[in-house]
Structure 1
Amino acid sequence: MIVITGASGQLGHLVIAELLKTVPASQIVAVARNLEKAADLAAKGVQVRHGDYTKPETLDSAFKGAEKVLLISSDAVGTRVPQHQAVIDAAKRAGVKLLAYTSVLHADASLLGLAGEHRDTETALKASGVPSVVLRNGWYHENYTASIPPALAHGQLFGSAGEGRISSAARADYAAAAAAVLTSSDNQAGKVYELAGDASYTLTDLAAEVTRHANKPVAYINLPEADYKAALLNVGLPEFVAELLANSDAAAAQGALFDESRQLSALIGRPTTPFTEAVNQALAH
């Protein structure tokens, strides 16, 4: 039995879609806070169970019979560590043979502000004694392609990444990696994967690619971190989101989102999705 937490989210759905290629639906459990958001999974024969990171008492029934569990990191930045600890504790009580965790690229040394909670979770995993594997996910293409519509509207793409190179990959690539680890016949316990795209690019490159595909000029405008955060606040983003994005870009300028180990493509057995393809798909929609 393979249990996926946070299954109603985008990554969770993609992981389950990958698992269904090789694993019977009856052996997959989708754990979600909102069961309605997982109704499409239930329709495919996947077991859907209620589970909430903030309500540890829901996790024991959610993990019943689990052999392997994927802990998809919470989106509640700032309060994630106790939520993740609840999942780790429940996995230990359930006696799972492998607990996989979606961390962040180079979490042990990353300058990303959000890396701290991932480091703390990785420490908690080690302390728990539960056999675990860490999937240190790099940036998603989608993190940047979401900014293409406003960039086209204004002819400018804003950021604070300077000439920092970004080794992003598609969300689906990271989902395929998680599924590969969960279904591997090799012992995965104790492994740490640094997962990132095969190729890297700068935000200047991204703007040029948008220009090429859209046939409309888009220039990359590099801003100081504080100014970029202010610009994000001005377009209506919540404080914590603006802070997160601006900090992440500033860290990217110093190499936080770059990796050339190609562990992701090795794990999934194919090249990662090129960012040029992601740009093309975003413009097609």
Structure 2
Amino acid sequence: MAFGQDGDWAIEAQGLVKRFDGFTAVDGVDIRVPRGAIYGILGPNGAGKTTTLRMLLGIIDPDSGVRRVLGHERPTEVARRIGYLPEERGLYPAMKATEAIAFLAALRGVPLKTGRRRARELLEENGLSYAADRQIRQLSKGMAQQVQLLGTLVHEPELVVFDEPFSGLDALNQGKLEKMIRTLAARGTTVIFSTHVIAHAERLCDQVAIIAGGKVPFAGLVDEARDRLRPQVRLETRARDGAWRAALPPDARSEGAFWHFTLPESGVEPLLRALIEGEAGILSLSIERPGLHDAFVAIAGEAAARALQETAQEAEKAA
């Protein structure tokens, strides 16, 4: 994979490898994130998501491979243009929410006075103005996480990187975060986030990288991942037998009054013709496109899918 033009991609990585004490955590990852996209890195715990993000941002260096962020091969040179929310949350407990956000802004070169003003604006915009003068230790876990999230955005970065941003948030605040991510993308900000929850990736992402065992078996458009599987048909007929059954594909299985099978490559029209001519008596017919979960199983395998589900269950218990 050759690097493209600077204006095409927010992030490019080729052949990233990282080992820790002889263990290969990331093994030859290739990723391209278009500018202005919402890009998800989807996989279970231990898949290599956090290590990949840290290499992309220059927090750690790869053992081999190359990466370029916002046109720079040394990501630390553009750190002030990036907002990063790590998986391990951490704010000074004695700081007030406004000061905590302003402090994070100052680390990215924003004058303290400006940071305080932006902090109060962000807190008000997100319904948290009542927390502005409260210490972090006085906030709930979810509220403190929202404060750190705002601190990630206060310097108005052009690239935002979230590591498991939905972890620890209740359903209401997860919805607020999804809305915030869409708003950022609408303004032209590039958003990349890691997640073990397929639903977030499916609802939000233009493109995803599926990662399992440190490898990326798929990176591209969500629709391309789903198109690896053919649509499924659910057919209900009045007649239970007849010549029309010969038109059903070999994988057709009967469940009560319904037939379930993969849509034939010839499409639905020849099938409909055979059903009508054979007097099957069509009561209902629906075609369901495979979801991202089905694509994940097909691409990453059953073991990775089970690990993804176990990660989600563990996260729910910890929340």
Q: Give TM-score, length-normalised by structure 2.
A: 0.26
Higher strand share: 2
Structure number with the bigger relative contact order (C-alpha 8 A, sep ≥ 6) is: 2
Higher helix share: 1
Q: Which has the larger radius of gyration?
A: 2
Q: Give TM-score, length-normalised by structure 1.
A: 0.29
